[in-house]
């Protein structure tokens, strides 16, 4: 039998392939971030529970704070300075979760609130601290080197070319002035879609399918999200010489992490199956709009948060047809 704690554990377990891929292709940064954000998230949760005089271990054992930390650690730039991750993780728990009354009562996805907050506050750090593929470095930084960078003891610049922008970002900015073939000649794109990123996304996809198999999540949100993103790209960005091509939308950046782990956060997502379809599709559409026409390189956080806003509305308009009723009831109860 599933319990809430067990569900959170499975979700965390299902992120491990993705974390492994991130570590293999981009170094220790994400792993350090995951551990760090998890500690901060759980620490903050414990502190607030204690202040609110709630049973600390009972609520910590539901694993939801840990999951928020893990997701942040996976989503944040791997070489982000420690204090920015700290702000992200602490505010995720404090602002997005506990201020709303704790697990189950939050309107917004906590991890994404934390992410969006630091993205707005530190746009520079959030775009430039992405680790470059290890394969492109002369010498891969070790665990201690990476720790030193994150702890801001060492300047990343001292290790040449270790940080940079993401392939999605690079493509978007370069494609205005150059052709697709010359843009992708940059080694960060590798031979396929985006060096390393394709494997990371495949790994998250695998973990996500595993969660569907366990019936911890349903297929509705990932399917409609990926479907809408694909459709939007085919409609508006079909020309790779003008905009980011579809395979890059799907397999570079945080797309699969979002599809299976972030958008599916049950608390802040729509509830009915039909509602989940709309919700996922909404995130897909918004994600494309912000990626293509906005000024942020990736937009998972904003797309998810905007759709969180829409959830009560979606829920009211997508109620299932109850057995024996001719039509589903719609709208707000009068």
Partner 1 sequence: MGRPFDFPGGIELPDNKTQSLQSPIRQPSLPDHFAVPLLQHIGEHARACVQPGDTVLKGQRLADSDRGAGVPVHAPTSGTVTAIEARQVPHPSGLEDWCVRIEPDGRDQWTELADCPDYAELPVEEQLSRIHAAGIAGLGGAGFPTDAKLVAGDGARIRTLILNGAECEPYITADQSLMRERPEAIIAGARIISSLLGAEECLIGIEDNKPEAIKALQEATNGTGIEVVVVRTRYPSGGEKQLIQLLTGQEVPHDGIPADIGVLCQNIATAESIYRALRFGEPVISRITTLTGKALERPGNVEARIGTPIIHLLNEAGLHEDNLKRLIMGGPMMGFDLPSITAPVVKGTNCLIAGTADEFPDSPIPQPCIRCGLCEQACPMELLPQQLYWFARSGEYDKAEDFNLFDCIECGACSWVCPSSIPLVQYYQHAKGAIREQRREQEEADRARLRFEQRQARLEKEKAEKEERRQARMEARKHKASGATPESAASSGPDLETLTRRRDDAREKVDEARAKLEEARETAPEAVTKLERALNKHQKRLDSAEQALANAHESSTE
Q: Say whether residue 2 binds partner 1 (CB under 8 A).
A: yes
Question: What residues numbered 297-326 form the site for partner 1, per CB under 8 A?
Answer: 315, 319-326
CA-to-CA distance for 70 and 68, rounded, in angstroms?
A: 5
Kindly state the smallest distance separating residue 4's Cβ from partner 1, in Å.
4
Longest dimension (CA), the chain: 69
Question: What residues numbered 56-85 form the site for partner 1, per CB under 8 A?
Answer: 58, 62, 64
Which of 202, 267, 289, 292: binder of partner 1 (CB under 8 A)?
A: 267
CA-to-CA distance for 261 and 281, rounded, in angstroms?
A: 15
Which of 17, 77, 78, 102: binder of partner 1 (CB under 8 A)?
A: 102
Q: Say whether residue 212 binds partner 1 (CB under 8 A).
A: no
H-helix or E-strand containing 163?
strand 163-164
CA-to-CA distance for 280 and 270, rounded, in angstroms?
A: 9
Kindly state the smallest distance separating residue 320's Cβ from partner 1, in Å.
5
Q: Say whether residue 7 binds partner 1 (CB under 8 A).
A: yes
Which of 272, 294, 296, 310: binder of partner 1 (CB under 8 A)?
A: 272
Contacts for 7 with CB less than 8 Å, ≥ 6 apart: 63, 216
Q: Say whether residue 54 binds partner 1 (CB under 8 A).
A: no
Q: Say whether residue 98 binds partner 1 (CB under 8 A).
A: no
CA-to-CA distance for 303 and 258, rounded, in angstroms?
A: 10
Kindly state the smallest distance separating residue 261's Cβ from partner 1, in Å.
14
Say whether 184 sits in a helix, a strand or coil: coil
Complex with partner 1: residue 296 or 316, whichever CB lies closer: 316
Q: Say whether residue 333 binds partner 1 (CB under 8 A).
A: yes
Say whether 131 sits in a helix, a strand or coil: strand
Q: Say whether residue 274 binds partner 1 (CB under 8 A).
A: no
Which of 50, 143, 273, 309: binder of partner 1 (CB under 8 A)?
A: 273
What number of chain residues touch partner 1 (CB under 8 A)?
36
Residue among 18, 28, 39 at smallest CA distance from 86? 39
Q: Say whether residue 103 binds partner 1 (CB under 8 A).
A: yes
Kindly state the smallest distance separating residue 90's Cβ from partner 1, in Å.
21
Partnered with residue 215 across adjacent β-strands are: none
Let me know: does 195 contact 189? Beta carbons within 8 Å.
yes
3: left (phi over 0), alpha (psi -120 to 50) or beta: beta
Stretch that binds partner 1, among 4-12, 116-124, 125-133, 178-186 (CB under 8 A): 4-12
Angle at which helices 300-317 and 110-121 cross, to 10°:
140
Partnered with residue 164 across adjacent β-strands are: 130
Q: Say whether residue 3 binds partner 1 (CB under 8 A).
A: yes
Complex with partner 1: residue 166 or 318, whichever CB lies closer: 318
Complex with partner 1: residue 54 or 173, whichever CB lies closer: 54
Residue among 199, 200, 146, 215 at smallest CA distance from 1? 215
- Using DSSP, how many helices (H) and how many strands (E) does the chain show? 16, 2
Complex with partner 1: residue 82 or 279, whichever CB lies closer: 279
User: Could you list the residues that contact partner 1 (CB under 8 A)?
Assistant: 1-7, 58, 62, 64, 102-105, 215-216, 218, 266-267, 269, 271-273, 276, 315, 319-326, 329, 333-334
């Amino acid at each position: 039998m599933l319990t809430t704690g067990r569900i959170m554990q499975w979700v965390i377990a299902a992120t491990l392939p993705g974390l492994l891929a991130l570590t293999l292709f981009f170094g220790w940064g994400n792993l350090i971030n995951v551990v760090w954000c998890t500690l901060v998230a759980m620490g903050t949760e414990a502190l607030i529970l204690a202040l609110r005089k709630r049973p600390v271990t009972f609520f910590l054992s539901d694993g939801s704070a840990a999951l928020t930390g893990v997701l942040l650690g996976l989503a944040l730039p791997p070489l982000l300075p420690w204090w920015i991750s700290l702000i992200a993780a602490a505010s995720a728990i404090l602002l997005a979760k506990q201020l709303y009354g704790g697990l189950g009562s939050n309107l917004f996805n906590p991890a994404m609130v934390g992410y969006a907050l630091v993205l707005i506050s530190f746009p520079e750090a959030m775009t430039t601290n992405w680790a470059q593929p290890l394969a492109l470095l002369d010498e891969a930084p070790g665990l201690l080197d990476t720790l030193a960078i994150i702890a801001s003891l060492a300047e990343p610049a001292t290790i040449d070319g270790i940080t940079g922008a993401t392939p999605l970002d690079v493509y978007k900015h370069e494609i205005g002035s150059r052709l697709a073939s010359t843009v992708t000649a940059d080694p960060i794109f590798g031979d396929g879609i985006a060096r390393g990123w394709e494997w990371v996304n495949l790994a998250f996809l695998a973990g996500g399918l595993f969660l569907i198999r366990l019936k911890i999540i349903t297929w509705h949100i990932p399917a409609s999200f990926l479907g809408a993103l694909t459709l939007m790209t085919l409609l508006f960005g079909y020309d790779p010489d003008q905009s980011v091509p579809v395979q890059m939308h799907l397999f570079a950046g945080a797309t699969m992490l979002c599809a299976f782990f972030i958008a599916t956060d049950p608390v802040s997502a729509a509830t009915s199956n039909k509602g989940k379809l709309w919700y996922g599709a909404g995130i897909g559409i918004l994600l494309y709009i912000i990626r293509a026409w906005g000024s942020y390189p990736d937009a998972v956080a904003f797309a998810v948060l905007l759709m969180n806003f829409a959830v009560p509305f979606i829920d009211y308009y997508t109620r299932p047809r109850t057995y024996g009723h001719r039509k589903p009831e719609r709208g707000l109860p009068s």
